[in-house]
Chains A and B, each alone.
Chain A
Amino acid sequence: MEIYLPIAEQSMNVFVLLGLGAAAGLLAGMFGVGGGFLATPLLIFVGIPPAVAVASQANQVIANSVSSLQVHWRRGNVDLRMGLVLLLGGAVGSSAGVWLFTYLKRIGQIDFVIAVLYVILLSTIGLLMLAESLSTYVKRRRNPESPRGKLHTHYLVHRLPLKLRFYKSKLYISALLPVGLGFLIGILSAILGVGGGFVLVPAMIYLLGMPTAVVIGTSNFQILFVAANVTFLQATTNGTVDVVLALLLILGGVVGAPIGSRLAAKLPGVVLRGLMAVLILAVAAELLTELLRTPSSPFSLGTREVPP
């Protein structure tokens, strides 16, 4: 069944889009991170213009993070203070990101930048995850009950000025750190159409040293507002948010997420992370091949400008 997407201005199979949403939801359910970093490249593979894919994906991220935030808010797993500080950076970063996106779109380089950033990001994350799950697997086999390490270590970053106390996270760190982190995630969010959870969550654990229990809830808090900001700015400056596309992805996600969380409960975490790493690396490889392969035609058209 085909459906015409009013902003992407093309028809597309409904089930392909629902399936993509479900796949992203599956990942979200399994790992607690939004599947945006896989859904956006997949949307581009099926032929959605990158600019529309990114902006509509940001719209989908809102739905994803709100349903996750619901659960964590009720359990009290949101460090509101940390969330707001992150958001301060996130709001500025995502606004700057949309501006950069608009500029790159105008000079005709946005597709290239999106592809290159995804290749870098996905291959880094994929390799890290693969290495981590392989080493854990090897360690577990040797020593099944390895003791947990220290909560977090202190680095140079803990000596920056503007220190704030974050009670829920049991932290006393410089506000500059979460602001800077929020800023970077905001830029990423605007250009790549991702929530950024897959970068934000490890950064909050390893860089800020937050306790794992509050990390997911707090990151979802920041992601929700950053994604809303990106959606709004993309809609007003580029007009590339396709709500029909976003809604189909959301619907697919609603189906995929519970399946994902059930799968996650059944399969051991190491195997899950290993599988995920392979999947991420496969997408990165496909994107890279697209960049390296001689195109069937060197020509493409930019946006049509109708005279007033």
Chain B
Amino acid sequence: MKRLLIALVAGLAWAGSAHAQGPRIEPPPAGLPPSVPTESATPDLIVDLSRARVSITSAFQGESILMFGMFDPPGEVVVVVVGPEARETVMRKQRFLGLWLNTGRQSFDDVPAYYAIAASQPLQRLLARGAGGEILSLEDRMSTIKPVGPRAATELAQFRGGLLEVKRREGLYPAAIGQVTVQAGRLFRVDLPFPSRLPEGVYEVKAYLLREGKIVAAVSRPLPVGKVGFSAQLAGWASHEGALYGLGAIVMALFAGWLGGAIMRRL
């Protein structure tokens, strides 16, 4: 409830911003009774994103989004970005008759498509003081994914490690813990890198304010990631109207081939 209130106030504070996004937070009624705790009336933490959404257009090559905001010192800021969860299947290659081929596979449920964490101080130090529970390091988050089907613990650990490795390689689990930079003791900013092969869905960007290792404020912003324009239309048809898309692809190729042939004969 307290967090909701903070978000509410943050939303109000930033309602005038051209960048206001996410689900619009309705401003509270004009005569908000002063009975609200004073700490929320002057918000501890306010944030915004440089973009309301990540648009995958036909020119998309990955994008970097800036989260910025202000907090009431003293305190430390931690930002966590989590992509939508899904089932992922990890495959492992082994040498067989001299050739490398997939011989083992393991699925996991609740795997976030993307996971990044950034902090204004070394995260270990912040979390060691008991902020855990809600804020999870990548390794802790990975230990919560659920394996599908039984398997020996050592094997599972290998596949889990493999998943982490592939996701890191694809830039979906940025390996280094990002740096939240603080200026003038109260302004902060952090760059969130998104690679070009980015799964679609609604991502959650959450900022926490920690004091003495305890979360005193948290603001969450949804960040929709999706294809827009022509590529969105094509991908939509391909997944929902496969038959129509297939026929369209055939007609396109027939026409292009016919036209190409006609032009070629003129040359």
Chain A residues close to B by CB (< 8 Å) = 2-4, 6-7, 9-11, 59-60, 62-68, 70-71, 108-109, 112, 116, 228, 231-237, 239, 241, 243-244, 246-247, 250-251, 253-254, 257-258, 291-295, 297-307
Choose the segment among B24-32, B34-42, B259-267 that binds chain A (4+ C-beta atoms closer than 8 Å). B259-267
Residues on the B chain within 8 Å of A68, using CB: 261
Contact with A along B149-168 (1 / 0, CB 8 A): 00000000001001101110
Some 10 contacts from A to B, beta carbons below 8 A apart, are A4-B231, A6-B230, A6-B235, A66-B257, A66-B261, A231-B253, A236-B242, A239-B245, A300-B93, A304-B113
* Interface: B222 (CB within 8 A): no
Q: How far is the CB of A102 from chain B (nearest CB, A)?
A: 13
Choose the segment among B84-92, B121-129, B132-140, B177-185 that binds chain A (4+ C-beta atoms closer than 8 Å). B84-92
* Interface: B56 (CB within 8 A): yes
Is A295 touching B165 in the complex (CB atoms < 8 A)?
no
* Interface: B13 (CB within 8 A): no
Is B238 touching A109 in the complex (CB atoms < 8 A)?
no
Is A302 touching B249 in the complex (CB atoms < 8 A)?
no
CA distance A299 to B88 in the complex (A): 12
CA distance A11 to B264 in the complex (A): 30
Is A291 touching B253 in the complex (CB atoms < 8 A)?
no
Residues on the B chain within 8 Å of A62, using CB: 250, 253-254, 257
CA distance A85 to B100 in the complex (A): 40
Question: Given known contacts A292-B100, A307-B109, what 6 new A-B pairs fall within 8 Å (CB)?
Answer: A67-B260, A67-B262, A236-B242, A299-B93, A301-B88, A301-B90
Considering only CB atoms, which chain A residue lies closest to B113 in the complex? A304
* Interface: B64 (CB within 8 A): no
Is B90 touching A63 in the complex (CB atoms < 8 A)?
no
Chain B residues close to A by CB (< 8 Å) = 56-61, 84-95, 98-102, 105, 109, 113, 159, 162-163, 165-167, 169, 196-197, 199, 201, 227, 230-232, 234-235, 238-239, 242-243, 245-250, 252-254, 256-265, 267
Residues on the A chain within 8 Å of B260, using CB: 63, 67, 250, 253-254, 257
CA distance A60 to B254 in the complex (A): 9
Is B165 touching A112 in the complex (CB atoms < 8 A)?
no
Residues on the A chain within 8 Å of B256, using CB: 63, 247, 250-251, 254
CA distance A203 to B265 in the complex (A): 29
Is B84 touching A306 in the complex (CB atoms < 8 A)?
yes
Residues on the B chain within 8 Å of A64, using CB: 257
Which one of A6, A10, A257, A299 contacts B196 once the chains associate, using CB atoms below 8 Å? Answer: A10
Is A235 touching B243 in the complex (CB atoms < 8 A)?
yes
Considering only CB atoms, which chain B residue lies closest to A111 in the complex? B102
Q: How far is the CB of B148 from chain A (nearest CB, A)?
A: 10
Residues on the B chain within 8 Å of A7, using CB: 234-235, 238
CA distance A304 to B257 in the complex (A): 35
Given A63-B257, A254-B260: A4 and B56 interface contact (C-beta under 8 Å) = yes
CA distance A108 to B199 in the complex (A): 20
CA distance A2 to B57 in the complex (A): 11
CA distance A62 to B252 in the complex (A): 9
Considering only CB atoms, which chain B residue lies closest to A294 in the complex? B100
Q: How far is the CB of B108 from chain A (nearest CB, A)?
A: 10
Considering only CB atoms, which chain B residue lies closest to A293 in the complex? B100
Residues on the B chain within 8 Å of A297, using CB: 162, 165-166, 169
Is A304 touching B245 in the complex (CB atoms < 8 A)?
no
Residues on the B chain within 8 Å of A65, using CB: 257
CA distance A294 to B37 in the complex (A): 62
Q: How far is the CB of B107 from chain A (nearest CB, A)?
A: 8
Considering only CB atoms, which chain A residue lies closest to B62 in the complex? A11
Residues on the B chain within 8 Å of A246, using CB: 249, 252-253
Given A66-B257, A66-B258: A109 and B249 interface contact (C-beta under 8 Å) = no
Residues on the A chain within 8 Å of B263, using CB: 254
Is B242 touching A239 in the complex (CB atoms < 8 A)?
yes
Is B87 touching A63 in the complex (CB atoms < 8 A)?
no
CA distance A132 to B266 in the complex (A): 34
Is A301 touching B89 in the complex (CB atoms < 8 A)?
yes
Is B252 touching A243 in the complex (CB atoms < 8 A)?
yes
Residues on the A chain within 8 Å of B243, using CB: 232, 235-236
Residues on the A chain within 8 Å of B261, using CB: 66-68, 70-71
Considering only CB atoms, which chain A residue lies closest to B267 in the complex? A258
Q: How far is the CB of A284 from chain B (nearest CB, A)?
A: 14
Is B254 touching A303 in the complex (CB atoms < 8 A)?
no
Residues on the A chain within 8 Å of B91, using CB: 108, 299-302
Is A239 touching B250 in the complex (CB atoms < 8 A)?
no
Residues on the A chain within 8 Å of B250, using CB: 59, 62, 228, 231-232
Given A64-B257, A71-B265: A232 and B247 interface contact (C-beta under 8 Å) = yes
CA distance A295 to B88 in the complex (A): 21
Q: How far is the CB of B251 from chain A (nearest CB, A)?
A: 9
Residues on the A chain within 8 Å of B113, using CB: 304
Given A10-B197, A63-B253, A306-B201: A298 and B59 interface contact (C-beta under 8 Å) = no
Q: How far is the CB of B224 from chain A (nearest CB, A)?
A: 15
CA distance A111 to B169 in the complex (A): 20
Given A4-B231, A10-B197, A257-B264: A295 and B100 interface contact (C-beta under 8 Å) = yes
